[in-house]
Amino acid sequence: MNSAAQIAIIQFPGSNTERETLMACRRVGLNPIEFLWNEPTEKLSYFDGFVIVGGFAYEDRSRAGVIAALDPIMKQIKIEAESGKPVLGICNGAQILVESGLVPGLANHRVGVALTDNKRVKDGHVVGVGYYNTWANLKMSAPSDRCAFTRHLKTGEWINVPLAHGEGRFIIPSELLKKMIANDQTVFRYCDNDGIISDEFPTNPNGSMHNLAAVCNAQGNVMAMMPHPERTEKGDAIFSAMKDFIENGNPVTSHALSFDRPHFEIANYEAKSDATEWIIDMIITDNEASSVHNALDHLGHDISITRQTHWEISTDADRKSILQKIDATGELYNSNKEFISENASPKNTTSFLVRQKEDMHGRAKFESLTERFEIDGISEIKRGVIWNVTVNGGNFEAVLNEILDTHILFNPLSHECYRIN
């Protein structure tokens, strides 16, 4: 019988690094066991620790990590983490930990951090956005005994591991970040081959604040890490430290973290006077809306959800001519499966317009239309998503507030939200 510490390798649909994670755990003497997201959650109490693996994001059509964060298995993971057991989230696993509030560890697991679209910046210019893969240097920026996963590394030491993600840029309110730095929760930071930390690409591969690659909770037993230590023996120290932490009785720290995040406000939406709105519907089934609807249904909300893409196109010349040219490019919608529609308002329905605070998609389309297609007279393009929420039962406003509190429609740290009706 294997007496080694048993580690549940948590797999959601789309996970693709379970084999590497199993191998990494076995190399350091742990006993990893694959655990599917839909198995009975009470079985988790028999494990000594947990790794939520990376891969393609499960049902994350709303936002990476958020659908999985609302899954019943994460309720039990929170219970296990509160008992002091170590929990490591890698890549999509890190996104799940962030969206579930397990890191940075605020009271009642309130969401305090966002992981959003990569932004590669060099010499003050954005040189790339979205998915990126490379090898990155991660510098240990906390005391060795601060975290369950750092006990076998020295402060200032760095390891070289792969990364591959599209939404790995940490965004943290400045006041909270200061507290996390003082609390030694900013565990790993991107550095160059000489160990020097610079926020310029390629040293910082995704534009993360403070060059963050991994952060832990206040107690030090939960860590969200965007790069992939399991894919190389150079990352084995992460897993051997986890083993040491368990064998020493899960010695969590006495650190605490408090932060009163400002309440997010939802203003009424008003388009700019020089703007035209295009609201895009789908001809085919909208799987994004289905994912969000199913997640909310599992939480007991009697609602219906539809989704539309929203473009706000500002022009400073002949509007009709410019819009015709934009339409002809096919840049803003695919006429084979989408069409320009309007925002409908059925009974007991309200609509929320959600935009990224840094609208990478809108900026990219603006540059494509003005530079590639050489269309003059466009001053700005903004992209958003309209979520149409129909409440089928219960108090209308109360149900809407409950849905907003799940953060399934937007993360207030990385998005802005407007009410359309």
Q: Where exactly are the structural domains of the chain?
A: 6-247, 267-419
417 is annotated as an active-site residue: no
C-alpha closest to that of 121 among 211, 207, 190, 213: 207
Catalytic residue (one of 165, 228, 293, 415)? 228
Query: Which pLDDT band, with edges at 50, 70 and 90, does 292 fall under?
Result: very high
Q: Looking at residue 126, what is its pLDDT?
A: 84
228 is annotated as an active-site residue: yes
Q: Looking at residue 360, what is its pLDDT?
A: 87
Catalytic residue (one of 91, 191, 216, 417)? 91
Return the amino acid letter for 346.
P
Given a cut of 90, whether residue 344 has pLDDT beyond it is: no
310 is annotated as an active-site residue: no
Question: Rounded to whole angstroms, how far apart are CA atoms 332 and 309?
Answer: 9
Give residue 220's region: left, alpha or beta (phi > 0; psi -120 to 50).
left
CATH code of domain 6-247: 3.40.50.880
Average pLDDT of the segment spanning 256-285: 88
CA angle 174, 258, 264 (to 5 degrees): 60
Given a cut of 90, whether residue 281 has pLDDT beyond it is: yes
Retrieve residue 204's tokens. 């910082």
Average pLDDT of the segment spanning 221-227: 98
What DSSP string describes 53-114? Answer: --BSPTTTTSSTTHHHHTSHHHHHHHHHHHTT--EEEETHHHHHHHHHTTTT--GGG----E
Please write the tens of the pLDDT for every residue from 367-417: 999 999 999 999 999 999 999 999 998 899 999 999 999 999 999 999 999
Question: Rounded to whole angstroms, how far apart are CA atoms 243 and 26?
Answer: 11
Please write the tens of the pLDDT for every residue from 150-183: 999 999 999 999 999 999 999 999 999 999 999 9
pLDDT > 90: percent of the chain: 83
Given a cut of 50, whether residue 329 has pLDDT beyond it is: yes
Q: Looking at residue 125, what is its pLDDT?
A: 84
Residues 254, 21, 162, 119, CA torsion sign:
negative
Please write the tens of the pLDDT for every residue from 247-261: 999 999 889 999 987
**Mean pLDDT, the chain, as a whole number?**
93
Least confident piece of the model among 102-116, 119-133, 195-209, 260-274:
260-274
Retrieve residue 157's tokens. 């030491």
Catalytic residue (one of 99, 230, 277, 331)? 230
pLDDT > 70: percent of the chain: 98
CA distances from 303 to 184, 284, 293, 346, 347 (A): 42, 21, 7, 13, 12
